[in-house]
Amino acid sequence: MKVIYTDSLVIGGGLAGLRVAIASMQRGFDTIVLSLIPAKRSHSAAAQGGMQASLGACIKGEGDDEDVHFGDTVKGSDWGCDQDVARMFVNTSPKAIRQLAAWGVPWSRVKGGNRDVIINGEKVTITEKNEAEGLITARDFGGTKKWRTCFTSDGTGHTMLYAMDNKAIQMGIPVHERKEAIALIHEDGICYGAIVRDLITGELMAYVAKATTIATGGYGRLYSVSTNAVISEGIGNAIALETGIATLGNMEAVQFHPTAIVPVGILTTEGCRGDGGLLLDKDGYRFMPDYEPDKKELASRDVVSRRMTEHMRKGKGVSSRYGDHLWLDITLLGRKHIEKNLREVKEICEYFLGIDPVEEYIPVRPTQHYSMGGIRTNATGESPTLKGLFSAGEAACWDMHGFNRLGGNSVAETVVAGMIVGEFVADYCEANSLNVSTTTIQHFMKQEEKKITDLLVRDFGENPFHLKAEMQKIMMDKVGIFRNGEDLAQAVEELKVLNQRAKKIALRNRISSSNPELVEAIRVPKMIKLAQCVAYGAMLRTESRGAHAREDYPERNDRDWLKRTLTTWKDDAADLPEVTYEELNVMKMEMPPGSRGYGTDNTVHHPDTARREKEIEEIKKANPGADRYEMHELLNPTPIPEKFKGRNERIGRGFK
C-alpha cells in the first residue's frame, strides 16, 4: 500500500485550492495539492469579467465600501447567505486583490481624464480623476450599486490563476497532477486525507494528512448544457457526501447565467452587459426595461435569466434548430472597446459561431453556470460534522452567496476564502497531530480497490456514458430555471432508478490503468447521488428564493424557509439523502430580510424580521455618534482572523 504523508492536503488546483496551499505553506506546513489536470488549466481560468472588491478608485465606484458591497451581496443572495461570512468576505476582498496585484496580476488601471462609455444604450462621457490614475479600475456588473468589478480585459480568471500558480511554484508547492481523489479517509468523525487514483497508471494511493481541503469547484456538469469546464462534475462534493458524516448545504441553489452562446453553452461574460451591451428579442426589441425598469439588463443574474425565459415563452425568442434563443447586442460598444476589453468573447464568437460580434448579434440563452451549494462549512471553512475536513471556493457552501451569487463575487470568493480558510487550516495543522491507524487507511483502500475490481470483472451491465446522459437530461428538463412540484417529483423518482442502475455498470474496456471509461464509471454513480441531492432539495423547498424559482410557490417564504438545506447520505443502499435544515438567525442579522427590488414583493415575512428591524433602529438611535465600523460591531460583531482585521484605504477617503 502506497501511503504519502503531509500536513495539509488540498484537493483541487484552482484559485481557492492554490490559495489555501499557499497559506498553509507560508505557515510552515508540508503541503500537497492534488489536481485532475495541470493547475493553470483549472476552471478558475474561465472566469472572464472580473473580481468584486470595493476599492472605489474609478469615478463610478466613488462612495463604494465594504458596507455597500455587503448590502449588494446579501440582497443578491435573497437573504439566504450567512451574513457573518459575507462580512468577512467584503472586508477581505480589497486586501486579496491588492495582494494579487503584488503577485503579478496586471489589473486594468484608472486613466485620468475623459472617456466615452455606454450606459443604458447611450454614449456618455465620464471623467476619471487624475489623482486616481494608476490605481485598479472597475467595470459595472449586475446587481451592484457601484462599479466594483475589477478586471484584466475579459481574461481576469486567467491572469489571477497564473499569478496564483506562479506564486505556488515560487514557494515550491508540489502539485500532483492527473490524480483523482475518489474517497475520503476518516475515523471517529475526523478526516485524515483521501484515497487517490493516478489517472495515468491507475495506481491507488493513500494521501494521509492532518487537514484535508476540498476545492474542486462546482457541479455544473450534472446538467447537459453548462458553461462549466468538463471537469466540473462535483466529485469533491460527492466524496464528502459519501462519508455519511459531512453535510452538503443548499444543493438546490443552482445559478443559470443569462448569456451563454447557443448551442454549445460557452459563456460570454456579464461584462458584455456591464460595459453597455443589450438583450434583444426576435424583433430586435430591447425587452428588459419592460420587466425591470430600474436595473434592466443589469438586474441580478437569476432575475435576468428568468425574464429572458419568460419572454421566450411569450413567443419572442428567435427560433433555431437548437431551440429558441435571444440576442446579445454588443455592436454599440464599438470595435476598439471589444478588441481591448472583450477579446475572449470576440474569439469565442469567431471560432464557435463564425460571427464578428462587432458587426453581428450573439445568440444567447440562460445556461447552467454556478453551484451556490456545496460542502457545508463553518465560517472557518471546516465541516461542522467531520473534523479536519475543510472546503473553499465553489465546492464549499461557506455560504456567502445564499441562493444567488453576484457576478464577480465568485473569483473573489476563491481568493478570499483561500486566504481566510487557509489560516484556519494552518491553525488546525498546528493544533493537531496526525493520529490515524493504518488499519483505517487500509480499510478505505480495500473498499476502493474492490469497487474498481467489481467494475473490471463484470461481464454485462450498464454503460456509464449513457447513465450520465440520462441524468443530465433529467436535471436539464426537470430541475432547471423554473421548477414545479410535479416535474421535481418525477426527477426524484427517475434519479432513484438511475441510482440503482449505477450499481451495475460494466465496462467494454476492462483495463485498470489509463482508461477514460473507468474514470467515468467511478464518477457517474457519485454524480447521480449529487443530482439527487439537488432534485430532492428542490422538491422539498416549497418557496422561491434567488435562483430556486418554483412556479407553484412563487413567493419567498421567510416564515417557513429562511433556512439552509443540509443533506447527508448515511446509508449507501438508500436512494435518497437525508435532509435536515439549519435556521438562519434573523435576530443576529446586520441586514434583516427585505425586498431585493425586482418585480412585485410577495415575501412572506419571518416573525423576527420586524423585531430585528426595530432593535436595529433602537441601537442606531442609542449610538448617534457611532461610525460605520462601530455600528457594525454593535449590530453583528464578526470574527475575522487577526491578519485581515485592518481597515482598507481608499483614494480620497483614507481609512474612513
Partner 1 sequence: MVTYEVTEAPGMTIFIALNEIREQQDPSIQFDFVCRAGICGSCAMVVNGSPTLACRTLTSKYEHGEIKLLPLPGFELIGDLSVNTGKFMRAMSERVESWIHDQHADQVNYDKLEERMDPDVADQIYELERCVECGCCVSACATKRMRPDFLSAVGFMRLARFALDPRDKRTDDEFYEIMGDDDGVFGCMTLLGCEDYCPKDLPHQTQIAYLRRKMALIR
Sign of the torsion formed by the C-alpha atoms of 114, 118, 123 and 124: negative
> CA-to-CA distance for 242 and 569, rounded, in angstroms?
6
CB-based contact 395:216 (threshold 8 Å): yes
Q: Could you tell me the end-to-end alpha-carbon distance of the chain, in angstroms, rounded to an integer?
A: 58
Q: Which of 86, 136, 240, 411 binds partner 1 (CB under 8 A)?
A: 136
CB distance 538 to 530 below 8 Å: no
Min dist CB 429 to partner 1, Å, is 20
Catalytic one among 273, 365, 376, 541?
273
Question: Which of 139, 221, 257, 632 is labelled catalytic?
Answer: 257
From 66-74, 106-114, 286-294, 531-539, give the range in contact with partner 1 by CB under 8 A: 106-114
Window contacting partner 1 (CB under 8 A); options: 171-179, 243-251, 377-385, 604-612:
171-179
Interacting stretch for partner 1, rule CB under 8 A, among 96-104, 273-281, 379-387, 422-430?
96-104
Asked if 69 interacts with partner 1 (CB under 8 A), we say: no
The reply on whether position 155 binds partner 1 by CB under 8 A is: yes
Size of the site for partner 1 (CB under 8 A): 76
Residue 483 appears among annotated catalytic residues: no
The least CB distance from residue 355 to partner 1, in Å, is: 12
Q: Pick one of 27, 126, 129, 178: the residue that binds partner 1 (CB under 8 A).
A: 178
Q: Which three cell numbers stand for residue 77?
A: 443572495
Please report, for residues 53, 55, 105, the alpha-carbon distance to residue 61 in angstroms, rounded to integers and kept in the order given.
10, 8, 20
Separation of alpha carbons 202 and 255, rounded Å: 35
How far apart, in Å, are the Cα atoms of 409 and each of 299, 305, 351, 612?
A: 15, 18, 28, 27
Q: Could you say whether residue 639 binds partner 1 (CB under 8 A)?
A: no
How many Cα atoms are found within 13 Å in the side-chain-facing hemisphere of 421? 38
Task: Find the radius of gyration of the CA atoms of the chain.
Answer: 24
In the list 27, 109, 286, 458, the residue contacting partner 1 (rule: CB under 8 A) is 109
Cis peptide upstream of residue 592 (ω within 30 degrees of 0): no
Q: Dump the DSSP string for 71-100.
A: HHHHHHTTT-S-HHHHHHHHHHHHHHHHHH
Q: Are 59 and 145 in contact (CB under 8 A)?
A: no
Q: How far is the CB of 352 from partner 1 (least distance, A)?
A: 6
**Interface residues for partner 1 in 377-396 (CB under 8 A)?**
none
Of residues 226-265, those binding partner 1 (CB under 8 A): 229-231, 263-264
Q: Is 175 in the site for partner 1 (CB under 8 A)?
A: yes
Verify binding: residue 115, partner 1, rule CB under 8 A: no
Q: Is 338 a residue that touches partner 1 (CB under 8 A)?
A: no
Q: Which of residues 267-296 bind partner 1 (CB under 8 A)?
A: 267
Taking the least distance from each CB to partner 1, the nearer of 177 and 615 is 177
Q: Is there binding between residue 651 and partner 1 (CB under 8 A)?
A: yes
CB 613 within 8 A of CB 566: no
- Is residue 106 involved in binding partner 1 (CB under 8 A)? yes
Helix (H) / strand (E) element for 365: namely: strand 362-371
Is position 398 an interface residue for partner 1 (rule: CB under 8 A)? no
Residue 104 interacts with partner 1 (CB under 8 A): yes or no: yes
Q: Which runs of consecutive H residues, i.e. helices, occur in 554-594?
A: 558-561
Task: Point out which span in 82-90, 99-107, 483-491, 541-549 binds partner 1 (CB under 8 A).
Answer: 99-107
**Binding status of residue 51 toward partner 1 by CB under 8 A:** no
Using the 8-state DSSP alphabet, how is residue 647 labeled? Answer: P
Question: Is residue 102 at the binding interface for partner 1, with CB under 8 A as the rule?
Answer: yes
In degrees and rounded to multiples of 5, residue 516 shows phi and psi of -60, -30
Task: By CB under 8 A, tell whether 116 contacts partner 1.
Answer: no
Residue 457 near partner 1 by CB under 8 A: no
Q: Of all helices (H) and strands (E), which one includes residue 342?
A: none
Q: From the CB of 618, what's the least distance to partner 1, in Å?
A: 32
548 belongs to the catalytic site: no
Cis, bond preceding 263 (omega within 30 deg of 0): yes
Residue 613 lies near partner 1 (rule: CB under 8 A): no
Number of C-beta neighbours around residue 433 at 10 A: 6
The x, y and z cell numbers of residue 259, run together, are: 448569456
Binding string to partner 1 for residues 504 to 543, with x set by CB under 8 A, is what? ---xxx-x--xxxx--------------------------
The verdict on 152 binding partner 1 (CB under 8 A) reads yes
- For residues 9 and 209, the answer to whether their CB atoms sit within 8 Å is yes
| Site for partner 1, residues 540 to 599, rule: CB under 8 A | none
Give catalytic residue positions.
257, 273
